[in-house]
Amino acid sequence: MAPLNHYIILATIIFSLGVIGFVTRRNALILFMSVELMLNSINLMLVAFSRFKADMAGQVMAIFIYAVAAAEVAVGLAILIAISRHIKEIDVTKFNLLKW
Amino acid sequence: MDLIFWFFAFMAVSAGLLTITAKDPLPCALSLMSVFIAFSGLYLHLHAPLMAIFQVTIYAGAILVLVLFVMMLLTTPGERLKSIQKNVPFRIMGAQLGLCLTALLGFGMKGISDLVVQARLPDGFGHPSSFGTLFFKDYLLHFEVASVLLLVALVGSIYLGKKSL
């Protein structure tokens, strides 16, 4: 059984990969995938803590994160389709309609 | 040495790297799927079989298929975006942010984890029956709120997907 620290370091690395992807990529779809990476790393941490404290509440919290992630992806992708209908682009550096 | 952990951890980190570095969105989505599969393996290893099933069905099944469908709607096969921002300050900021986050979160969480003593697992830990008892008894209100949230997201995404907004 790997100690809790290993799981924490793994989840931290995956979270940071998500943050780096979110800041450095330009494709809006890949930004969504980076957000998914971050949410997943939080889930891993919750489940790991729930295992090591022998308390199942962590798994229940992870289920709520699933619900939030599903809602976020559905609404976000709908917004992306609505935007790309207007400006025919999915490059986030081109989304500057509200800039002044 | 815990071989199962190291196998899935290596799989998750390498697939996560591929997710944020691949040029096309499609390899990104497929490597994201291997991250999800690796995580579900880790959940099984952590005595959470129900979470492993949800991980595969919800994430690798539903959310990823949704992303792939939108990819089919939005991008044509020849179209590629440059893999990362042209803007150099963005890249430097991303690298710094990642390093700082790893260090900060790692040290902070290590402090917490030193406080957690590994408890003995009670009988039925992680079984669907004990999970359901906890979920529908202690967290019933949270469950209802989550269902309202999903309903709102459903209505909102149908409205946003209309032809003429």
Summarize pLDDT for B13-44 with one digit per residue, the tens. 999 999 988 888 888 999 999 999 999 999 99
Q: Which of B55, B70, B85 sits opposite A24 (nearest CB)?
A: B85
In tens digits, what is the pLDDT along chain B, a chain of 165 residues?
A: 688 999 999 999 999 999 988 888 888 999 999 999 999 999 999 888 999 999 999 988 889 999 998 888 887 655 655 555 667 777 788 788 888 887 887 777 777 777 777 777 777 787 888 888 888 999 999 999 999 999 999 999 999 888 776
Look up the CATH number of the domain holding residue A59.
1.10.287.3510
CB neighbour list of residue B161: distance below 8 Å, 6 or more residues apart: A78, A81, A82
Q: How far is the C-alpha of A18 from the C-alpha of A14, rounded, in Å?
A: 6
Total domain count, chain A? 1
Summarize pLDDT for A27-77 with one digit per residue, the tens. 888 899 999 999 999 999 999 989 888 888 899 999 999 999 999 999 999
Tokens 């959940």 -> residue: B43
Q: How far is the C-alpha of A16 from the C-alpha of B114, rounded, in Å?
A: 22
Q: Which two tokens stand for residue B96?
A: 């710094």
- Label residues A45-73 b or e (16+ Cβ within 10 Å = b): bbbbbbbbeeebebbbbbbbebbebbbbb
Q: Which of A6, A52, A70 sits opposite B116 (nearest CB)?
A: A52
Q: Count Cα neighbours of A71 within 13 Å in the Cβ-side half-sphere.
A: 17
Q: What are phi and psi of A91, to 5 degrees?
A: -85, 120
CATH architecture of B3-123: Up-down Bundle (1.20)
Three-state secondary-structure class, residue B46: coil
Q: Which of B98, B131, B146 sits opposite A59 (nearest CB)?
A: B131
Instruction: Please give the residue range of the domain that contains residue A81.
Output: 4-94
Q: Which two tokens stand for residue A82?
A: 């609505």
Asked if the C-beta of A45 comes within 8 angstroms of chain B's C-beta atoms, the answer is yes
Would residue A73 count as lying in a domain?
yes
- Please report, to the nearest 10 degrees, the dihedral formed by the alpha carbons of residues B15, B50, B60, B95 taken in order: -40
Q: What are phi and psi of A27, to 5 degrees?
A: -75, 125
CB neighbour list of residue B95: distance below 8 Å, 6 or more residues apart: A20
Residue A62 Cα distances to A65, B70, B102, angstroms: 5, 26, 22
Among A30, A49, A80, most B C-beta atoms within 10 A, so best to mutate, is A30
Chain centre distance of CA A2: 25
Q: Do B67 and A44 touch (CB under 8 A)?
A: no
- The complex scores an ipTM of 0.90
Would residue A84 count as lying in a domain?
yes
Each domain of chain B, given as residue ranges in start order, spans 3-123, 124-165
Q: Which two tokens stand for residue B110?
A: 């290590």
Q: Do A56 and B130 touch (CB under 8 A)?
A: yes
pTM, two decimals, is: 0.87
